[in-house]
Structure 1
Amino acid sequence: MTTKYNMVKRAVKSRIIDGIYTPNQKISSESELMKEFGVSRHTVRLAIGDLVSAGWLYREQGSGTFCADRSLIKSNDNTNSQKSIAIVTTYLSDYIFPSIIRGAESKLSEEGYQVSIFSTNNNHEMERGVLEKILSQQFDGVIVEPTKSGSSNPNISYYLKLEQLDIPYIMINAFYDELEPISIVMDDEKGGLLQTEHLIKLGHKNIVGCFKTDDRQGIKRMKGFLKAHRQNNIPVRESHIITYNTEEKQTKPLEELQKLLASSDGSITGLVCYNDELAMMLLELLRNKNIKVPEDISIVGHDDSMLAEISEVKLTSIVHPKSEMGELAANAIIALIDSKHDKTSNYNASSMIYDPELIVRSSTKNMELLEKV
C-alpha cells in the first residue's frame, strides 16, 4: 500500500515528468498540497525535501519551491568520468532473462560502463518506479524490455522525458508502437507460423494454440498460428485458441486445456505454446493425465531455453538469440551514446529483427507414423 508520503512525492514527480511543472516554474505551496492530498505539513515537507535532495526541485528563500531544469543537471554530470547504463527487463532470475542480461552486461563492463539492472515483473506500476529511478540518477543510456507491450502503456511520458533529456534508449524483445524506438526483436509472427507449420507438415490438423496476449510477442505469435492455418486451408476452432495475461499464466492455460481434453474437442493432436515455460507446464499436465508426448499429442515451444532439453521429453522449439541479443543491444546503446557526444559521427542507428529458426526434437511426431503404430 502506498504511504501518504510516497503519494505526495510520486504525484509531484509525475507532474514534472508529464510537463505540468516546467523547469523553473514554482510548484504548488505546502498548504495547497496539504489540502489536495489530505496530509499534514510534516508529510509534505518530507516529500518535497526528498525531491529537492534528488535534484527534482530547488528552493529559493522567501519565494517557494521550483521545478529544477534536469537537462542542466545532466550537462553538469557529464564532467563525471563514470559511465552508467540501466538494463530493464520484465524478469531477472528466471527463464531466458539471465542469458540476455549476461550478454549485455559482459559487453558493457568490457567498455567501462557501470551497469544497473532493474526488473518490472511485467507490471506497469513497477515499471513506473524503475523509470523514476532512472530519471533521478541520470544514466547515460537505457536498454529496456517493455512491460506488457501488447497493451496500452500508462508510462509513455517517462520515455518521452528520457528523449527530452537526450538519454538514448533501445528496446529488446518488443517495443511500444507509439514511440517507434530503435529495437532488437524476434520476427515473432514468423516464429508462430513456423511452430504451427511444423505440426501441419507432420499431418496435424487439430491444433491448439496458447498465447500470452498482454505482450506483443504473444499477439504476433498468435497471428503466425492463424496464418499457418489459413495458408494450409485448415479451419481454426475458436475453442482452440487459448489466450491469457501475465497474472493468469500459472492458472488459465492449464484450466482451459483441461476443459478441452475433457470435452468433445478432446481429439487435439498438437499444441503450439507461447514459450518453453508454458510448454513445460502443459507437458506436466498431460503427464499427470497419462497422455503421452509425442505419441498422443505433439508440443512445440518457443525460445529454445534451457527448459527445452532438461525434461524427459526434449522440446521442439524456436531459437531465441538470448545472450547474442543482449550483446547486440549493448553495442547499439554504446554507439548511440558515442554518436551523441561525437558531433562528427555518421552513425545511423537502426532496428534489427531476428529471423526465427526451428529446432526439432522429440516432442513432435508425424501423424502417419502414429497411425501405423
Structure 2
Amino acid sequence: MRVTIKDVARECGISAATVSLVLNDKECRVSEATRAKILRIAAEMNYRPNHFAVGLVTRKTHTIGLIVPDVGNFHFAEMSKAIEQECRNNGYIVILGSYGESDEQAYAYFKEFIDKGVEGIIFAKPMLVELSEKDRQCFALAESASIPVVTFEPVEVQATVGVVSYDYEAGGYLASKHLIDLGHRRIGCLTGPDNMISSVARREGYKRALAEAGIPFDPTLLYEGDFAVQSGIEALPHLLGQGVTALFTFNDMMALGVYKAARQYKLKIPTDLSIVGFDDTFLNEILEVPLTSVTHPADSLGKESAKRMLSLIRGEASYEGSLFPPTLMVRGSSVRLRV
C-alpha cells in the first residue's frame, strides 16, 4: 500500500500539515533537526508524492495526452518517441492512445485523458477537409476543460489549438516533378483518402507538376488508398492496366505494398517501374532496391509539437502554426525512362 503523508506524520509524531510543508519544500517554522527527521523517516518509509492528488488541487499533473492513429505505423511510432523524449526532458510524462480507424475511440481517449487531468492533448490525427462531428466533439471537450490541443493540420474550432504542419502540397510536387524530370509521362498516383487535408494537398502538388510540364491530368491514373500496405498490393494491377511507367505513393507503407505486388507480377523495380514514396521511413535504405521518398520528418514534427504544447501550457506561445518544408531523398527506386 502506498505510504501517505499521514503515515509519515504518525511515525514522526508531528502534524500532517507540518510534514506536508516540509516534503513539498514549502516555507514553514520548523527547526533544522525536525526537518531532517521528517526527510529521513520519509525516505526510510519509501514515501513518494502522489502527483495525481496534487494535480487535482493545483491542476498541474505534468501529464500530456497523445492520440495517434496507429503506433504500428513507422511514422507515428517515430513521432511518438520524439514527443515522449521532449516531454520527459521537460518534466512531463506522456500517456498514449492509439485509435485505429475509430473516431469513437479517439473521442473516448479525449474523455479519459481529460478525466485523468492531462494538461494538454497532442492530437496526431489526419484531419478531414470537412471536420467530422466526432472530431468537433473532441475539440469541444478540450474547450470545456480549458486545455490546449496541438494538431498537425489547421482546424477551425473554438478550442485553443496550436498547429505544427507540413507542406504536403510542396511534397507532392517534388515527388512528381522528380519522375517527370526522369522522362516519365504516365505517372500513377496512389493517394490517401480523398477527404483528408494532407491527401488533397499531395494530389494538388502532383497536378501542379503535371501542369508545369504540359502533361494533361488523367484521373484514371489515380487510385485511392488508405495508407496501409494492402492498398499498394491492390493498386498495382489497376495502375499497370493504365500503362504507368512510374508511381508516386502518398506514403512509404503503400510503397512497400507495391514492392510486394511487383514481385508477384515479375516486375523489376526500377527497370520496369519507378517508385517514389512519402515519409522517408528508416526501412527505405535497407530495402533490396532503396526507396526514393519525400521526407516527412516524424522526429522533428514530434519534437516541435511537444515544444508547442509545453509553450501553450506555460502561456508562452502564440497559436500561429509552424510549417515544415519537404525534401526529396533520391535512391535506387527511380530511374530515367528507357525509350
What TM-score does the superposition give when structure 1 sets the normalisation length? 0.71
Which of 224, 229, 233 is the equivalent residue of 1:243? 224
SS of structure 2 residue aligned to 1:208? strand
1:259 counterpart residue number = 238
Look at both structures and tell me which one has the larger radius of gyration over its CA atoms.
2
State the match for 2:202 in structure 1: 221
| Aligned with residue 84 of structure 2, among 105, 115, 119 | 105
Question: Tell me, what secondary structure is at the counterpart of 1:139?
Answer: coil
CA apart distance, 1:93 = 3.2
- Name the structure 1 match of 2:262: 286
Which residue pairs with 1:309 in the alignment?
285
Residues of 1 paired with 2:178 and 2:298: CA distance?
23
In structure 1, stretches of 5+ residues that fail to align are 1-73, 340-344
User: Higher mean Cα deviation, 311-320 or 214-223?
Assistant: 214-223
1:29 aligned residue: none
**Structure-2 residue corresponding to 1:170:** 150
Report the CA distance between 1:176 and its aligned residue. 3.3
**RMSD of aligned Cα (Å):** 2.3
Aligned partner of 1:96 among 72, 75, 78: 75
Q: Work out the CA distance in 2 between the residues paired with 1:94 and 1:350.
A: 28
What does the per-residue CA deviation read over 1:75-102, in whole Å, with 9 as the maximum and x for residues that have no partner? 9825265311111111113311121111
1:184 and 2:164 correspond: yes
What is the CA–CA distance in structure 2 between the aligned matches of 1:158 and 1:311, rounded to whole Å? 39
> Partner of 1:332 in structure 2?
308
Are 2:229 and 2:253, in contact at CA under 8 Å, matched by a contact in 1? no
Uncovered stretches (5+) of structure 2, i.e. residues with no partner: 1-52
Deviation at 1:323, TM superposition (A): 1.3
1:21-49 C-alpha deviation (Å, 9 max, x unpaired): xxxxxxxxxxxxxxxxxxxxxxxxxxxxx
1:179 and 1:289, CA in 2 relative to 1: closer, same or farther beyond 3 A? farther
AA in 1 matched with 2:188: V
User: Alignment partner for residue 349 of structure 1, among 306, 314, 319?
Assistant: 319
Distance in structure 2 (CA, Å) of the matches to 1:137 and 1:187:
34
1:250-280 alpha-carbon deviations (Å, 9 max, x no partner): 545533431332x3x33x1110001111111
Per-residue deviation at 1:150?
A: 4.5
Q: For 1:1-373, what aligned pairs fall within 5 Å after superposition?
A: 77-79=56-58, 82-147=61-126, 149-150=128-129, 152-155=131-134, 156-172=136-152, 174-178=153-157, 181-213=161-193, 214-245=195-226, 249=228, 251-261=230-240, 263=241, 265-266=242-243, 268-339=244-315, 347-367=317-337, 370-371=338-339
| Paired residue total | 284
Deviates more, 1:194-203 or 1:79-88: 79-88
User: Runs of at least 4 residues of structure 1 off by over 4 A?
Assistant: 177-180, 249-253
In structure 2, relative to structure 1, the CA distance for the partners of 1:177 and 1:358 (3 Å cut) is: farther
3-state SS of paired residue (1:93):
coil
**Distance in 2, Cα, partners of 1:221 & 1:147:** 13
Distance 1:153 1:78, change over 3 A: farther
The answer on whether the counterparts of 2:166 and 2:326 sit within 8 Å (CA) in structure 1 is: yes
Give percent identity, aligned residues only.
25
1:85-128 deviation digits (Å, cap 9, x = unpaired): 11111111331112111111111112111211111113212111
**Larger deviation, residues 237-246 vs 320-329:** 237-246
Question: Residue deviations 1:300-346, cap 9 Å, x none?
Answer: 0001102211210101101122112111111111111111xxxxx5x
Distance 1:327 1:250 in 2: 27
Contact 1:122 1:147 (8 Å CA) reproduced: no
Alignment partner, residue 69 of structure 1: none
Find the residue that maps to 2:179 and give its secondary structure. Answer: helix
Any idea what SS the aligned residue of 2:128 has? coil
**TM-score (normalizing by structure 2):** 0.78
Query: What amino acid maps onto 1:305 in structure 2?
Result: T
